[in-house]
Amino acid sequence: MFSMNPQLQALLQQAIQAVEDGNFIKAEELLQYFLNVKPAEFTALHLLAIVYASQNKHDTALEWYEKVLHIIPDDSSALSNYASSLSAIGRIQEALNIFRKVLEINPSDPVFFYNIANTLCELGKYEEALFYYEQSIKLDPEYFQAYNNYGKALYDLKRLPESLTFYENAIVINPFFIDGLINKGVSLNELKRYDEAIAHYDKALSLKSDYAEGWSNKGVTLHELKRYDEAIAHYDKALSLKPDYAETWSNKGVSLNELKRYDEAIVYHNKALSLKPDYAEGWSNKGITLNELKQYDEAIAHYDKALNLKPVIDWVPGFLLHTKMKICSWSGLAESLENIIKKVAANEKIINPFELLVLNDDALLHKKSSEIYIQSRYPLNPVLEPILKRPQSQKIRIGYFSADFRNHPVSLLTAELYELHDKSKFEIIAFSFGADDKSPMRLRLSQAFNQFIDVSNMSDSEIAELSRNLQIDIAVDLGGHTQGSRTGIFSYRAAPIQTSYIGYLGTMGAEYYDYLLADKSIIPDELKKFYSEKIAYLPSYQVNDRKRIISERQFRREELGLPETSFVFCCFNSNYKILPSTFDSWMRILNAVEGSVLFLYADNEWAKANLIDESSLRGFDSTRLVFGGRIPKEEYLARYRVCDLFLDTFPYNAGTTASDALWAGLPVLTLMGESFASRVAASLLSAIGLPEMITKTQEEYETLAIELAMNSQKLKNIKLKLANNRLTTPLFDTPLFTKNLEAAYINMYERYHADLEPEHIAIT
C-alpha cells in the first residue's frame, strides 16, 4: 500500500466502501479496473474474492482466493475465507482441513474456533463441535453468535433444555439478536412450551417485521396448537416476503391437510417441490396427503422418493410399509420388516407403534416402539401445575376422549356403554376432537353423555386444562396410538387417573398412563411385563352394542359372486392386516377343501389386483377369491349369513369384525399369539364360550379350518352353540360389562383417594 500511487489508493478505498455498502457490482468494476493496472496486489485480489463470495459465486471466488494464497500462502484471513467458500459448495471436509490449518497459524482468534465448530456441525459432528464453540466463547465471552450456534448444536443433539440456556446467553448479550430469539422459539416449540415459543417469535418479528423465517416458524407452532387457520395466515405472510420459501409452501400444505382440504394441500406441496425438487420432507408430506386421498400408489411413490433423497426421515419408512400393506403390495416386505426391527431395537424413530402391531407379534418390541414414539412426540409435559387432590365425591367423573365419536368401529362397540352407565354414580363427559360426520351414530352418542363437548379446535394443553376444570377423575383414552388420537392431552395430565381402552391394542409406553383395560385372555400374568401400565383386568375385554341391527335382507350367494354349493370361508378384516404368511395359510386351506372359496373385503382396487396376482403366483385359481365392497352396516352384518366360517388374520386379529361375525351367528377361527393385538379374537371367543375356535400354531389353525369345512356336523354343532351362547354369555352382555367396568373405575378411584399408587387390579 505504501508504494501505491494516490489515484490507485483512492480507487481501492472506493472499492472497500462499496463492499461495506453492499454494492458488489460497483466494487467488482472498481477492483477489476484496479487489477488491470496492478494485477498482483494482495488486498485487491482478496477483496475481489470476497465480492464474488458475497454474491454466492463461490466457484469464481475460489479462483481468486487461490491467487491471493499464491502470494501469501499462510494468510489466516484469506485461508479462512477460502475455506468458507469451499464449505458453501459442499466441499466440507476440505474446508475443515483448511480451518484447522488456520487455527494452527492463529490459535488466539475466537472466530477460527467458531468456524471449525460450524463446519463440524455441517458434517454432523455436533459433540466435537461443542468443544470448539467452548474455546471460542472462552476467548470472547461476548461472542453471542458462538452462544447461538452452540445452542443449535445442542438442539441437533436433542439436548433441548440445555440449548435454551445458550440461546438465552446470546440474547442477553445482544437483545436485538433475531436469530437467537427465533432459535430459542424453535427449541421451546419442540419442548411443547408453545406460548413461550410464540412470545419469542413475536419479539423477533417486532424487531424485524419482514423476517420470513420468523413468520413461518410461528406458523409451525400455531399448527402444533391446532390453530390451523392462524398457521396458514402466518405461512401466507412468510410467502409474501419470500415467495421461493419451499419449506413454507410445504408447511401450508400440511396445515391444509389437517383441515381435510386435501386438494388444496396438494397444490401447495407441488409448489414446494417445484421450488426444491430435492426436498425430502416435501415428498413425504405430499405422500401423507395422497394417502388421505386414498391414492395409495402415488403415496408409495412419494415416500420412496423421500427416502431415496434422505434415507433417514422420522417415521417415513413406517408410513411407506403401512401404505404398501393397505394395497397388499408385499415385495421386499421381509427385508423392510427386518430393517425396521433392527432400527426399533436401536431406538430409532422409524415406525409408529400402530403400524408395527400389524407386522409383528413381538410384545417386547411393541413396548419399545411405543416408548420411542412417546419420548419423541409426547413426553411427560409438566407445564401445567400438579393436580391437587379433591375430596371424594358421590359421583365419579369419567372423561372419554376420542376422535371417533362418529360412524367408526370404536363407537360401534362402545355406544351402548355410555347409555348404560349408572348416572347416579358416574358423570360421563365426552371430549370429541374428531370430525362430526352428521351420522345417526353421532346423534346417538351426543345424547348418551351427561356432556358432549367438541374440543376439536382446542390445543392439547387447553383440553387438559378444561378436563381439570371440569374435575374429571378418570380420563379414558379411546384412541391411543391410532389416527386422529391426541396423546398430548394425557402428557399434560388431564386427570389424576388416566387409562387406555379399546382404540389401541397395546401398551402406550408412557409413564402418565396409569391403567390399561384388558382381560386374562389378552394379558395373562406372564405377559404383564410387556406393558408400561398397570392392568385393570375385566372378566371380558371388549364391550359391544346389542342395538346393532342386522338387516332382514336375505342375500343370495349368486348376487355376491359366490358359488351356491361351495364352502365359503371369509375374512372382512382391513386389507393391511393380511400378511403373506396368513395368505399362504389361506391358500393351503382352500387347496385342501375342494371347491371352497374365500370371500374378502376389498378396500381398494390395488389390493384386489395384488391379491389376485399373489394367488396366481402360488399356482392358485384366482377365481376362488371373491371380493366384497363396503355396504350399509345393517346389510354388511346380514352378508355374514352367506358365509360358513370366518378366518382371522395374524398377528393383528379381528376385533370389531370378529364381534360382527359372532353377532351375526358366524363362527370365527383365530390364531393366538403373544401380543395384545394377536389375542383379541381369543378374548372374544372365550367370552362367548367358544374356546375350541382358538388355535396356537399355524398348523392347528389350518387343520381346524379344513376339518370344519369337511365335517359339516361339527361345524353345525359349533354354530348351534354360538346361537345358544350369543345372548347368555358375557360377550354381548353389555349391562354386565358396564357394571364390571364401573367396578374397575371405583377401584382405581378408591386407590387414588387412599394415597395408593396404581396397581394391577382384577374385577371378578
Residues 346 and 319 in one domain: yes
Helix, strand, coil distribution of the chain in percent, nearest 5: 60, 10, 35
Domain of residue 711 covers 557-732
| 86-91 contacts, C-beta under 8 A, 24 or more apart | 86/58, 86/62, 87/119, 87/122, 88/53, 88/56, 88/58, 89/58, 89/59, 89/62
SS3 label, residue 725: helix
- For residue 292, the model assigns a pLDDT of 97
**Closest residue by Cα to residue 241 from 274, 217, 265:** 217
Cβ of 304: how many Cβ atoms within 10 Å?
Answer: 16
Instruction: Say yes or no: 700 and 576 in one domain.
Output: yes
Assign residue 159 the CATH number of its domain. 1.25.40.10
Q: Does residue 79 sit in the same domain as residue 112?
A: no
Question: For the chain, how many structural domains are there in total?
Answer: 5
**Which CATH number covers residue 471?**
3.40.50.11380
Examine the domain organization and report whether 23 and 148 are in the same domain: no
In the sheet where 625-628 sits, what is the strand order?
625-628, 597-601, 568-571, 645-647, 668-671, 694-695
What crossing angle do the helices spanning 333-345 and 316-326 adopt, rounded to 10°? 150
Q: Both 448 and 564 in a single domain? A: no
- Domain membership flag for residue 391: no
Quick one: which of 403, 406, 404 has its CA closest to 442? 406
Q: Do 419 and 525 share a domain, yes or no? A: yes
Same domain for 431 and 496, yes or no, is yes
Residue 760: is it exposed, middle or buried by C-beta count within 10 angstroms (0-12/13-18/19+)? Answer: middle
Give the count of alpha carbons within 13 A of 545, CB side only: 20
User: Within a domain: residue 753?
Assistant: no
Q: Are residues 532 and 564 in the same domain?
A: no
Residue 358 lies in a domain: yes
Residue 163 within a domain: yes
Same domain, 70 and 128: no
Examine the fold and report which residue of 127, 150, 174 is the final residue of a domain before the chain moves on. Answer: 174
Looking at the domain assignment, is residue 480 inside a domain? yes
Judgement on whether residues 79 and 170 belong to the same structural domain of the protein: no
Task: Please report the pLDDT score of residue 527 as a whole number.
Answer: 98
Phi and psi angles of residue 564, each rounded to the nearest 5 degrees, phi first: -65, -40
For residue 414, being part of any structural domain is answered with: yes
Domain's final residue, options 156, 174, 192: 174
Residue 88 has what pLDDT? 83
Claim to verify: residue 598 and residue 706 sit in the same structural domain? yes
Burial code (b: 16+ CB inside 10 Å, e: under 16) for 120-155 equals bbeeeebeebbebbebbbebbeebbbbbbbbbbbbb
The one-letter code for the residue type at 466 is L
* Domain boundary residue, one of 174, 190, 213: 174
pLDDT, position 72: 86
Q: Which three cell numbers stand for residue 171?
A: 440474547
Contacts of 184 (CB under 8 A, 6+ apart): 151, 163, 164, 167, 168, 171, 200
Is 647 inside a domain boundary?
A: yes
* CATH code of the domain in which 578 resides: 3.40.50.2000
Q: Which 8-state DSSP code applies to residue 317? A: H
Lookup: cell for 465: 386444562
Q: Which stretches of the chain drop beneath a pLDDT of 50?
A: 1-2
Residue 456 located in a structural domain: yes
| Whether residue 57 is found in the same domain as residue 4 | yes
